[in-house]
Amino acid sequence: MSQLYVFDHPLIQHKLTYIRDKRTGTKEFRELVDEVATLMAYEITRDMPVREVTVETPVATAKAKLLEGKKLGLVPILRAGLGMVEGILKLIPAAKVGHIGLYRDPHTLEAIEYYCKMPSDIGERDLIVIDPMLATGGSASEAITILKQKGAKSMKLMCLIAAPEGVKRVQQDHPDVDIYVAAVDEKLDDHSYIIPGLGDAGDRLFGTK
Ligand code: URA
């Protein structure tokens, strides 16, 4: 069973409150999402492997640690996932970025891929799939399925806000993928919006409506 991690760090929760607030405008919303993405990247990389090295300080030899250098990849789900990419890259600038776009078929309600461009070596990378709003979980689950078909072996899912329904769906479909969120909200409404949520993340990031 995949694990659900809720990042309850006070800085993340403080910034999330302003992200939720309908009075927060596009510029500030974008900046806050970027900052929360950086803070979440700090938490999500806690298990990165390190190796022991020695380093000469001005006064002695120190035993120290360096990152093992495991390759990482970020996969934002278009379009709202883009809003978290730069914030994560601030901490892990060498990560490669693949993009995946899905739309919902209005008749079957299935998530259909319309764009997918991945680094050629995704099978060797630890991937962070980014979907700020985990609502029904349909897009995230389908994106993960597509990435597995393309050879991905190691994935984490990073979201700002999840609905219980989305968490359940991803955990059922992908028991090997842990989920990292800043909050789990109450429920979905009839239009699959997260309640209370923050509205449409893409529209608020890009100033569309
Ligand atoms: N996508 C959003 O942007 N917001 C929601 O509440 C649900 C899905």
ipTM comes to 0.96
Concerning whether 189 is annotated as a catalytic residue, the answer is no
CA of 66 to the centre of ligand 1 (A): 38
Protein residue with its CA nearest to atom 3 in ligand 1: 200
Per-residue pLDDT reduced to its tens digit, 17-33 = 999 999 999 999 999 99
Residues 163, 169, 172, 175, CA torsion sign: negative
Concerning whether 200 is annotated as a catalytic residue, the answer is yes
Atom of ligand 1 nearest to the CA of 193: 6
pLDDT band with cut points at 50, 70 and 90 for residue 197? very high
pLDDT of residue 120: 96
Is the pLDDT score of 104 beyond 90? no
Is the pLDDT score of 87 beyond 90? yes
pLDDT of residue 209: 84
pLDDT band with cut points at 50, 70 and 90 for residue 199? very high
pLDDT of residue 175: 98
pLDDT of residue 162: 98
Is the pLDDT score of 186 beyond 80? yes
pLDDT of residue 172: 98
pLDDT of residue 9: 97
CA of 131 to the centre of ligand 1 (A): 10
Is the pLDDT score of 105 beyond 90? no
pLDDT of residue 111: 87
Annotated ligand binding at 194? The verdict is: yes
Mean pLDDT of the residues in the chain? 97
Catalytic residue among 45, 104, 145, 173: 104
Q: What is the rounded CA–CA span in Å between residue 81 and residue 60?
A: 45
Is the pLDDT score of 109 beyond 80? no
Is the pLDDT score of 122 beyond 90? yes
Catalytic residue among 45, 145, 173, 200: 200
Annotated ligand binding at 134? The verdict is: yes
- Give the list of residues 6+ apart from residue 158 with CB closer than 8 angstroms, or none: 40, 44, 84, 88, 128, 129, 130, 131, 180, 181
**Mean pLDDT across 60-82:** 97
**Residue at token pair 């409150």:** 17
**Cβ atoms of residues 37 and 81 within 8 Å:** no
Global model pTM greater than 0.90? yes
Per-residue pLDDT reduced to its tens digit, 129-160 = 999 999 999 999 999 999 999 999 999 999 99
The best mutation among 134, 193, 203 to test binding of ligand 1, ranked by most ligand atoms within 8 Å of the C-beta, falls on 193
